[in-house]
Amino acid sequence: MTILVVEDEVKITRFIKKGLEMEHYTVDVAYDGKEGLEKAEINSYDLIILDIMLPKLDGIEVCKKLRENKVETPIIMLTARDTVDDRVRGLDAGADDYLVKPFAFGELVARIRALLRREKTIKTTKLQVGDLTLDPATHEVFRGGKEIQLSSKEYRLLDYMMRRPGLVCTRTMIGEHIWGYNFTDDSNVIDVYISYLRRKVDSGFKSRLIHTVRDVGYKIQDKSQKINSIKNGTDKQ
């Protein structure tokens, strides 16, 4: 599952991101309200953690605009002040829950789980590409009935690609989404993790699912389905 954290305090953002990644969530971050709003409207997130006090656009306005634009993603609002007015403003703006800073990370995780349990369709929907399946609720990955064990980053990378089947995931997209907002592609870390995934996902199977898009990035796609449809005369293109 993918969570967007909108928080301008870098230390808090890193703390939340690192902790959630250890819980096997994929985490995207934004450091001001304007950037957070843009990301939340463009991308599909399972949950948003939104600070109230943000530069450029405060969290209350971000929440209001998201709800006005029919973005129904669950939102946990963070506030530095434990006042009734702040809580009322956040909930009236469309937030689903709130948490007062400083907070215990365990409480944040518990509130995230509680909100995601309400999203039954998200929890029960498995991702599938060919005979490869990924269950966001249990973090189990299978191919051809065989369970595949993945590290935390391998899982997040596979989850990210499987949510975009057939679409190119550029190196910049992968880097920023998996390794963080300030990722710079000055190493071969992405190639290394793609290699890890290929050994676990494609090795020993007849068809490859992870493909290189030369000079751009990677994509996950079951090309054998298109080949079979052409052979059977069902492909209209």
Task: Give the chain's largest Cα–Cα span.
Answer: 66
pTM: 0.57
SS3 assignment, position 161: helix
For every residue of 49-89, DSSP letters joined together read EEESS-SSS-HHHHHHHHHHTT----EEEEES---HHHHHH
For 164, phi and psi rounded to 5 degrees? -135, 55
Mean pLDDT in residue range 151-163: 89
How confident is the model over 25-84, as pLDDT tens digits?
889 999 999 999 999 888 878 899 999 999 999 999 999 999 988 888 899 999 887 677
* pLDDT at residue 115, as a whole number: 86
State how far the Cα of 16 lies from the Cα of 187, in Å rounded to an integer.
25
Q: How many CB atoms lie within 10 A of CB 22?
A: 11
What residue segments make up the domains of the chain, in order of their start? Answer: 2-121, 126-231
SS3 assignment, position 232: coil
Per DSSP, 12 falls in state H
Whether the pLDDT of residue 177 is over 50: the answer is yes
The reply to whether 126-231 shares the fold of 2-121 is no
The band of 171, judged by pLDDT with boundaries at 50, 70 and 90, is: confident
State how far the Cα of 179 lies from the Cα of 27, in Å rounded to an integer.
9
Mean pLDDT in residue range 90-103: 86
* pLDDT at residue 6, as a whole number: 96
State how far the Cα of 29 lies from the Cα of 210, in Å rounded to an integer.
26
| H runs (alpha helix) in the chain | 10-22, 33-42, 59-68, 84-93, 105-118, 120-124, 152-162, 171-174, 189-201, 223-231
Mean pLDDT in residue range 133-162: 89
Whether the pLDDT of residue 226 is over 60: the answer is no
* pLDDT at residue 90, as a whole number: 78
126-231 classified as CATH 1.10.10.10: yes
Contact 154, 179 (CB under 8 A): no
Provide the residue count of the chain: 237
CATH of domain 2-121: 3.40.50.2300
Cα dihedral 13, 18, 23, 25, rounded to 10, equals: 60
The band of 223, judged by pLDDT with boundaries at 50, 70 and 90, is: confident
The band of 129, judged by pLDDT with boundaries at 50, 70 and 90, is: very high
Q: How far is CA 201 from the centre of its chain?
A: 20
